[in-house]
Amino acid sequence: MDTQKILKRARAVLEIEAHGILSLTERLDESFVRAVDLLYRCKGKAVVTGLGKSGLICRKIAATLSSTGTPALFLHAGDANHGDMGMINKGDVVIAVSNSGETEEMLKFVPLIKRLGVKLISITGTADSNLSRAADVAINAAVKEEACPLGLSPTASTTAALALGDALAVVLLEMRGFKEEDFALRHPGGTLGRKLLLRVDELMHRDAELPLVTENTPMKEAILEITSKRLGVTGVVNGQGLLVGIVTDGDLRRGLENKGDIFRYQAKDLMTGSPKTIHGDALAATAMGVMEEHSITSLFVLEGKKPVGVIHLHDLLKAGI
């Protein structure tokens, strides 16, 4: 294998595709703006349709639109001619992607769209194609050349169509005021979903797992509470059950250095008063932020002023926060 020859060809492919995308920026015009307007005002959904390699690009465009605030689905143009037209309703907008703009199945599909009174946006590589002329809005996605040396396999042309789909989605996202929280609601199983949707009370240790001692608990018992619950900390409550402090592994080390025999003391003598706390309905990501800001590894969870749980840094890391 000739390493340099392989790398030279790979770079040439990337350069051709990059040039294809950059050339689109020079041709963006009012057609793109009208397409955005149609999609923004759409009362229904965007139906993205295509065939072959363009169809694969359409699937991605539909998925990106859906995940960024514009309801969308993919419809195979061939299937539309054989019963799946029921997926399109009045109020929808159809986005048809075809490099040639002359695909037979696509052109058969167009009259059906018109009959429904549905608006049609075309993304084609041929500005004067039948599909472009039939569209309410025609976006020119032409590229100078394909990366395929035979000029047969869709490469730069599909990349250009995909980039235009992304451009539509991002512009619409900003126009709709789409936020991270909105994205998370559409991706509850993803990392961002976990960060923005998971609450503290879903991760915290509670009941028998909650380390607690009273102010007057001897330090020997407090240490046993810390070690048995394996969180490196215990909360300290007063006679009313209110959290007044915590004793951590760090407090024990400092106690040994400053007081010597810590077994002569009670929890109140070594505790850190006014500890950082959080509420159970707070987002787990918020808890992580508090821990990072104050360089601590745990937060007691309060209901009123009474501790009902504790969340540890390890719990957040394990949950992927």
Per-residue pLDDT reduced to its tens digit, 64-80 = 999 888 999 999 988 87
Q: Write out the DSSP string of 170-196.
A: HHHHHHTT--HHHHHHT-TTSHHHHHH
Q: Which two tokens stand for residue 235?
A: 């909360």
Instruction: Quickly state the pLDDT bin for 321 (edges 50, 70, 90).
Output: confident
Q: What confidence score (pLDDT) does residue 242 get?
A: 94
> In CATH, what is the architecture of 3-178?
3-Layer(aba) Sandwich (3.40)
Can you say whether residue 137 is alpha, beta or left, with left for phi > 0 and alpha for psi between -120 and 50 degrees? Answer: beta
Residues 35 and 168: beta-carbon distance below 8 Å: yes
pLDDT digits (tens, 9 = 90+) for 119-170: 999 999 998 999 999 999 999 999 999 988 876 688 999 999 999 999 999 9
Beta strands in 22-68, from DSSP E residues, in sequence order: 46-50
> What pLDDT does residue 244 have?
94
In whole angstroms, how far apart are CA 282 and each of 203, 264, 287, 290, 311? 11, 39, 7, 11, 12
Is it the case that residue 306 has pLDDT exceeding 90? Answer: yes
The stretch 306-312 carries a mean pLDDT of: 94
pLDDT band at 189 (very low <50, low <70, confident <90, very high): low
Return the pLDDT at 188.
Answer: 60
Indicate if the pLDDT at residue 192 is higher than 80: no
- Measuring CA to CA, which residue among 178, 201, 167 is closest to residue 67? 178
CATH, range 200-318: 3.10.580.10
Q: How far from the centroid of its chain's Cα atoms is residue 313's Cα?
A: 23
DSSP structural state of residue 271: P
Q: Whats the size of the chain, residue-wise?
A: 321
- Determine the pLDDT at residue 198: 80
Residue 304's region, left for phi above 0, alpha for psi from -120 to 50, else beta, is: left
Comparing CA positions, the residue from 253, 254, 250, 204 lying closest to residue 229 is 204
Given a cut of 70, whether residue 212 has pLDDT beyond it is yes
Q: What is the pLDDT of residues 238-253, one digit of tens each?
A: 999 999 999 998 889 9
Domain ranges within the chain, ordered by starting residue:
3-178, 200-318
Average pLDDT of span 218-246: 93
Residues with Cβ within 8 Å of residue 212, at least 6 apart in sequence: 225, 234, 235, 236, 237, 307
**pLDDT value for 186:** 65
| The pair of three-digit structure tokens given for residue 55, joined into one six-digit string | 């169809």
CB neighbours (10 Å) of residue 161? 29
**203-207: long-range pairs with CB below 8 Å, 24+:** 203/284, 203/311, 203/315, 203/316, 203/319, 204/280, 204/301, 204/308, 204/309, 204/310, 204/311, 204/315, 205/229, 205/231, 205/309, 205/310, 205/311, 205/312, 205/315, 206/308, 206/309
182-191 LR contacts (CB < 8 Å, sep 24+): 182/69, 183/67, 183/68, 186/66, 186/67, 187/67, 191/320
pLDDT on residue 191: 61
121 is written with which tokens?
A: 């946006």
Q: What is the pTM of this model?
A: 0.65
Residue 10 has pLDDT above 70, yes or no: yes
Most confident of 39-43, 152-156, 282-286: 39-43
Residue 220 exposure: Cα atoms within 13 Å on the Cβ side: 3
Question: Predicted confidence band at 182 (pLDDT cuts at 50, 70, 90)?
Answer: low
Q: What is the pLDDT of residue 276?
A: 92
pLDDT score at 79: 82
Q: By the 8 A CB rule, do 27 and 167 touch?
A: no
User: What's the CA gap between 47 and 120, in Å, rounded?
Assistant: 10
Looking at residues 38-42, what average pLDDT do you find?
95
